[in-house]
A and B are shown apart, each in its own frame.
Chain A
Amino acid sequence: MAMTATADHARADPHQIGVVVEHPGPAPKRIVTAYGFWVFLLSDIVMFSCFFAAYAVLSGQTAGGPKGAEIFEQRNVAIETVCLLLSSFTCGMASIAADVRNRFWFYLGMTVTCVLGLIFLAIEFREFADLVARGYGPSRSAFLTAFFSLVGCHGLHVSAGVLWLLTMMAQVFAKGFRADVLRRMMCFALFWHALDIIWVGVFSVVYLLGGAP
């Protein structure tokens, strides 16, 4: 071995110029979990972007069926948006309550979040059912295909979120604010907020742009 230097770490790192900041080691579990969930959310947003792209491509393809402006009801959409944005607030309240280990405010925040989510889903379901009843189901035209898929995909996410929310409440009820439960709660909150961001996209691209006459 030609290496004769003793503990000469500067030479062991020949490319480093100046002060090297040593990596402190593996991150704690809470950070790792939240980080991984962020990565998942990004991938989920990529998936949504495909449905957005499909909507952009197909929104003009009405095949003799109705245009967006003819079927969207801005009043309902406004209520849906208010519900979802408010639920993000109450979900935030529930997160804070979990952080300070306050069961009452946690249950209250989560319950309100759940109710708001269910109202959102009910309005969306009624909108879909109404359209299908009028013969404007997803098989009517490529535009309606893209509309039902994009909005429906978001709706499915909200439904999954409600299921997760109820499981979360049950878990806090059964296990208390354990470290792993709190980590899951953090992921749930991230998920719920991300759905809000996507809804803002849906609202703008589908209902505002598509609602223009």
Chain B
Amino acid sequence: MLGKLDWSAIPFDQPIPLVAGAMVLVAILGVLTWVVVKGHLPYLWSEWITSVDHKRIGVMYILLASVMLLRGGSDAIMMRIQQAVAYQSQGYLPPEHYNQIFSAHGTIMIFFVAMPFVIGLMNLVVPLQLGVRDVAFPTLNSVGFWLTATGALLVNVSLVVGEFARTGWLAFPPLSELSYSPGVGVDYYAWSLQISGVGTLVAGINLVTTVLKLRTKGMNYLRMPMFCWTTLASNLLIVAAFPILTATLAMLLLDRYLGFHFFTNEAGGNVMMFMNLIWAWGHPEVYILVLPAFGVFSEVVSTFSGKALFGYRSMVLATMAICVISFMVWLHHFFTMGAGPDVNAIFGIASMIIAVPTGVKIYNWLFTMYGGRIRFATPMLWSVGFMVTFIIGGLTGVLVAVPPADFMLHNSMFLVAHFHNVIIGGVLFGAFAGFEYWFPKAFGFRLDERWGKAAFWFTFLGFYVTFMPLYIAGMLGMTRRMQHYDVAAWRPWMIVAAVGMAVLTIGVICQIMQLVISIRNREALRDRTGDPWDGRSLEWATSSPPPVFNFAFNPDVRGEDAYWEMKAHARQQSFEHEELEYQDIEMPRNSPTGFVCAFFAAIMGFALIWHIWWMVILGGIGAFATFVVFAWRDHDEYVIPAEEVARIDRINIEERRSLVSMAGAV
């Protein structure tokens, strides 16, 4: 009846996951009770859960990423403490638990923190920057988000029901095959990623179509803000790379569930095929994450330097070059696995070549700042911190791209330090820069600068104190994923890294404090004009938060830095533009399709993990029925009358006029 599921799945003998799970459960129940008692449920349901508004969905993506960041960060704290104490002892985490923690940490941080964070930012900003009212497929957008959330849910369920994979974040066979991992851990891993992978693919298709087919009048390709370009590149990579992940995990699941022989040791299976397939997805994935971050930095650096982006065309070229070359370097992840010197040399050179466009970008940002009137607001701090940090990470990357050096450093702590260097220094700093930069746009008030700066400095310093020692430990020969060790020389560096982790944690606390303080002081921090940073692109041309239809009139773009030109134009003519005729606007209706579909996907995923076949069928039928019901509805749009559009738009125009006249007086 319940497949493999019984009471032994609950780890009553392990206090850590049980207590953590109980705390999460209490927190969720607490929030739910508060929501229900306060009567917020109808609001949440109609304004957020069923919303197909790209801005709302973007915010929910970022919320999901932030919550999961806390989960992944807790895993990181536990690992750093374990390695600090587990010198010639077992530490406090038993090996099977430690293995689950590092696997969950990697899986969560990549798939459920970095991915939703950048997809959230793209969702929130790109339609605004393109000057349009929504993404190409609003309802599918909601489906994509809720499927991602389902994946995250399943990973967290594994904390208390069953176990998570002990195989590392990419579940290499033959370890991940049934004979070596008979538990449900790998199944939790694979099904969560399959479900969230569908969500990511949907988001990718949606954003590619949005950028290529939905641009406002005059928004030629070479007038798009840099963030739109990096969004395009990143989502093209999603469309081309995520199906590889889906296929690879499907093969692994077929091996585990139906006795196939893709990657087994017996009957002619080929383990190296898994390595090639998973990294053919895995390396583009790195650029899927970092390209949007590059886009954020381009926007931030240009805005806070008060200058147009230096070398816009070379930036576009560099972005698209990275997009293509990222598919030609995957083998550098396993130089040591016997491909031979010729193949290694080719991939080593390709890996060094991909550093060139990245270098072009760094110089462009530096030259954008050169001669500019720089304002060191929090987003700019994250950007400058990124440039310094990412260069170090990039250089160590070029170092391990040299096959002989890689043979020495492969799977060592040096590698761990390298990829944290680029992912924290690149993606996470970019995500935080984007968060600080676009928060006023999303919510209509600014974030507190003092707490923001404190968060930056603690995170920045904490990063160096945590990860520089790992480089050294790697040089001293320490391999990754060690539950305990006996080498005295490594110990001091592990202790320093643990101290660094404490500093990083203070950074996270500052970030939370910033949010709390800013929400409390929101009236003082209110952004009335919609243009708090003196911005350059179209998202600043509408109010904060933007109305549901984004723009009363589709903007007419005449050049690069569209909004900057409009402002310059308006100052000369002091807003003496003729009153335009407002029109009715049609917007897509909200739909619970995404949420209901994800509900069935969650049931189906859980049932598949535990081999509860009747429930699988039930979930499948439910998901199909949801789409049929959606396809059957008669009205998929509603109309906002022209008077309402006019009322909303005139308020914003008044605020802007007063800003321009004030600027004129100065």
A interface with B by C-beta (< 8 Å): 1, 3, 6-7, 9, 12-16, 20-27, 31-33, 35-36, 39-40, 42-44, 46-47, 50-51, 53-54, 57-58, 61-63, 138-143, 145-146, 148-149, 163, 167, 171, 174-175, 180, 184
Contact = CB atoms under 8 A, between A and B. Distances in A.
Nearest to A26: B214
B268 A58 contact: yes
Interface residues on B, range: 35 or more
Contacts of A163: 624
Contact of B220 (A23, A51, A54): A23
Nearest to B267: A63
A31 B212 CA distance: 11
A142 B208 CA distance: 37
Chain B, interface SS category: helix
B180 to A, nearest CB: 17
Contact of B268 (A6, A14, A50, A63): A63
A143 B269 CA distance: 9
Nearest to B130: A26
Given A142-B261, A142-B269, A171-B631, A13 B559 contact: yes
B244 A54 contact: no
B145 to A, nearest CB: 17
A58 B244 contact: no
B650 interface: no
B88 to A, nearest CB: 44
27 contacts: A3-B572, A24-B217, A25-B217, A25-B554, A26-B213, A26-B216, A32-B136, A36-B137, A36-B205, A36-B209, A42-B239, A46-B240, A46-B241, A46-B243, A50-B244, A50-B251, A53-B273, A54-B262, A57-B270, A62-B268, A63-B267, A63-B268, A142-B262, A142-B269, A146-B262, A149-B262, A180-B636
Contact of A139 (B219, B267, B571, B572): B267
Interface in B265-300: 266-270, 273, 277
A1 B568 contact: yes
Interface of B: 132, 136-137, 201, 204-206, 208-209, 212-223, 239-244, 246-248, 251, 254, 258-262, 264, 266-270, 273, 277, 312-313, 554, 557-560, 565, 568-569, 571-572, 624, 628, 631-632, 634, 636
Given A6-B572, A145-B269, 13 more contacts: A12-B559, A12-B560, A22-B217, A23-B215, A23-B557, A26-B213, A40-B201, A43-B240, A58-B270, A61-B268, A140-B267, A142-B267, A148-B260
Interface centre among A1, A46, A148, by most chain B C-beta atoms within 10 angstroms, is: A46
B260 A1 contact: no
Contact of A47 (B206, B244, B565): B244
B568 A54 contact: no
Contacts of B631: 167, 171, 184
Given A12-B559, A15-B313, A58-B270, A171 B632 contact: yes
Contact of A26 (B132, B204, B241, B261): B132
Nearest to B313: A15
Given A23-B219, A62-B268, A141 B261 contact: yes
Nearest to B241: A46
Contacts of A33: 137
Nearest to A9: B558
Contacts of B212: 35
Given A13-B223, A39-B205, A46-B243, A138 B260 contact: yes
Contacts of A44: 243
Chain A, interface SS category: helix
Contacts of B214: 26-27, 32
Contacts of B239: 39, 42-43, 46
Contact of A61 (B251, B270, B554, B571): B270
Contact of A141 (B132, B268, B572): B268
Contacts of A35: 136, 209, 212-213
Contact of B260 (A46, A139, A184): A139
A44 B246 CA distance: 10
A54 to B, nearest CB: 6
A175 B560 CA distance: 45
Nearest to B312: A15
Nearest to B201: A43
Contacts of A148: 260
A1 B664 CA distance: 10
A154 to B, nearest CB: 13
Contacts of B559: 9, 12-13
B134 to A, nearest CB: 10
A21 B208 contact: no
A130 to B, nearest CB: 18
Contact of A12 (B565, B624, B634): B565
A25 B208 CA distance: 16
Given A25-B217, A26-B213, A36-B136, A145 B262 contact: yes
A40 B513 CA distance: 42
A165 B627 CA distance: 14
Interface centre among A27, A50, A175, by most chain B C-beta atoms within 10 angstroms, is: A50
Nearest to B239: A43
Given A26-B215, A171-B631, A149 B313 contact: no
A93 B406 CA distance: 59
A50 B243 contact: yes
Contacts of B223: 13
A39 B210 CA distance: 12
A46 B215 contact: no
Nearest to A28: B213
A163 B627 CA distance: 12
A62 B268 CA distance: 7
Contacts of B269: 58, 61, 142, 145
A143 B261 CA distance: 8
Contacts of B132: 26
